[in-house]
Amino acid sequence: MNNQSNLNLKSEDFKIFLKSLSKISDTSILEVSSDEIYSIAASEDRAMFLWATLSGEFDLETSLNLPSISKMCKLIDLSSTSDIKFNLNGNRLEYKSKTIKFKYHLYDDGILTKPKVTLSKIKALKFDYEFDVSRSFIKTLLANCSVFKDTNKLYIYTEDGHLVWSLADKTIKNTDTLTIIGEDVDFEMDDFILNLDNVRLIDFGDSDFATFEVSKNGMGKISIDSNNIQLNYIVSSLTK
């Protein structure tokens, strides 16, 4: 890490980027290069990983070990400007304006553990099926979950040429189910099962749609593009 250098960011973009990560974990390792900042976060059950990328022009190449994303977001709010300029000074980020100044200390390298999944492995994933889903549909689906509290599984599959979404648990007898028939599709897909708690972690940012990609071997990716931010949620299907 350089002794002293600058990091210039668009405040709103950086907050959206950080808040998506904070829904997964409040700590994060940000990898900064000349044209992007990215981070990989893991859900508590390790069934979901988020690869978040913020595109832009940055003047340094380093790793930033954030001990608290929520604290950083609150500090950015205090700046009340569209652009924020940090001075990276040793183990801390420093900010100074006409009205406020603060220092945010970083963890040393090695304190935070990186998720086992690597960027190269994520990029190498291949998928067999693809479909788009709206923010409003997911919001309505999650709202309906409150009626079906005896299951925490979401089954996605095809039936009679339609995409089907089912709140159920096929491992338990006499469990209530809610099934929603979705759009027409031109493929056949077996059950892909998501943990509803992980679905709640998905952040659409400023986007109205997400792209779902699913492989026959039980891997999936949920991609969301929001201005300069790209969010890729890597998920594995639960067992029935």
> Are the folds of 4-123 and 129-236 the same?
yes
Among 40, 8, 11, 13, CA closest to 227: 13
Taking the C-alpha atoms of residue 142 and residue 79, their distance in angstroms, rounded to an integer, is 34
User: What are the extents of the domains in the chain?
Assistant: 4-123, 129-236
Q: Which residue has the tokens 């005896």?
A: 150
Give the chain's mean pLDDT.
92
Query: DSSP H helical segments within 29-182, as ranges?
Result: 69-79, 119-123, 135-144
Cα Rg, the chain, nearest whole Å: 20
- Give residue-wise pLDDT tens across range 56-85: 999 889 999 999 999 999 999 998 889 999
Question: Where does 4-123 sit in CATH, by number?
Answer: 3.10.150.10
Tens of pLDDT, residues 165-185: 999 888 888 888 899 999 999
Q: Helix, strand, or coil here: 86?
A: strand
The confidence score (pLDDT) of residue 147 equals 78
- Tell me which architecture the domain covering 129-236 has in CATH: Roll (3.10)
pTM of the model: 0.92
Q: What is the pLDDT of residues 106-135, one digit of tens each?
A: 999 999 998 888 999 999 999 999 999 999
- Our CA dihedral for 115, 219, 120, 17, rounded to 10 degrees, sits at -60
Residue indicated by tokens 């990609």: 213
